[in-house]
């Protein structure tokens, strides 16, 4: 599987945007379009429901050599042997953790990504040993309607200061992409601009072309 540093396009199987499609079909379309990472995000699902979804998606991502990211559910990520677990600030720091090594067994290849919304949070995540961080939301987004946009200033700060792989997220679409890249981003997370597209594979392919 591609090292995190070489990953550029981070996409999602988000149950809020499946629109009746099967998760494994969407995962296959994302892989076919050139996704480097795929996160399973199911905010309103129980752990058992997330487990069922993951079992459907994992054969697809494994065949394609694309790491699967489990959102929020650390125990599930461990149980499933997922490559990455993504946690929010509240899931990590508010839960009493100070370093990602506290979540890893000595022989575990599991990587931990953390959400950040300001430079101070990014620095804290770096000090905690995060394998990657998310920077955002850059713009207002329906995916997280209550989140205040962090603007391109945070992207510029990250480009100058963050030493681990980082991904710009929040309102990144083909209309905003060039501006986000001009601010210094080299890796992006895309949710609705791909999952709401009439052709998921073609949308991924276009993002990859523009990133290149």
In this prediction, residue 143 carries a pLDDT of 67
Helix (H) or strand (E) holding 39: strand 37-41
Mean pLDDT of all residues in the chain? Answer: 95
The CATH number linked to 164 is 3.20.20.70
In this prediction, residue 27 carries a pLDDT of 98
Domain of residue 21: give its range: 4-211
Total-model pTM: 0.96
Q: What's the structural domain count of the chain?
A: 1
User: How far is residue 72's CA from residue 82's CA, in Å, rounded to a whole number?
Assistant: 12
Q: Report DSSP letters for 42-77, one per residue.
A: -TTS-HHHHHHHHHHHHHHHHHHT--EEEES-HHHH
User: How far is residue 9's CA from residue 13's CA, in Å, rounded to a whole number?
Assistant: 13
- Please say whether the beta carbons of 110 and 84 come within 8 A: yes
- Please say whether the beta carbons of 97 and 128 come within 8 A: yes
* SS3 assignment, position 162: coil
User: How far is residue 14's CA from residue 152's CA, in Å, rounded to a whole number?
Assistant: 25
What is the rounded average pLDDT of the residues 117-124? 97
Give the model confidence (pLDDT) of 128-159 as tens digits: 999 999 999 999 877 677 778 898 999 999 99
What is the rounded average pLDDT of the residues 59-81? 96
Give the model confidence (pLDDT) of 25-38 as tens digits: 999 999 999 999 99
């Amino acid at each position: 599987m591609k090292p995190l540093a070489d990953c550029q396009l981070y996409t999602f199987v988000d149950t809020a945007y499946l629109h009746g499609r099967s998760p494994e079909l969407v995962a296959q379309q994302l892989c076919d379009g050139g996704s480097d990472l795929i996160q399973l995000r199911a905010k309103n699902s129980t752990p058992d429901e997330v487990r069922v979804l993951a079992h459907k998606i994992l054969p697809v991502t494994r065949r394609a050599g694309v790491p699967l990211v489990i959102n929020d559910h650390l125990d599930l990520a461990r149980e499933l042997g997922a490559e990455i677990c993504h946690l929010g600030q509240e899931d990590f720091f508010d839960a009493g953790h100070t370093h990602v090594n506290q979540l890893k067994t000595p022989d575990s290849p599991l990587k931990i990504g953390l959400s950040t919304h300001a430079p101070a949070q990014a620095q804290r995540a770096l000090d905690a040993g995060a394998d990657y961080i998310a920077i955002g939301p850059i713009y207002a987004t329906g995916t997280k309607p209550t989140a205040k946009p962090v603007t391109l200033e945070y992207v510029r700060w990250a480009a100058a200061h963050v030493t681990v792989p980082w991904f710009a997220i929040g309102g990144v679409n083909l209309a905003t992409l060039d501006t986000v890249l001009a601010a210094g981003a080299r890796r992006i997370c895309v949710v609705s601009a791909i999952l709401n597209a009439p052709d998921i594979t073609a949308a991924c392919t276009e993002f990859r072309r523009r990133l290149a």
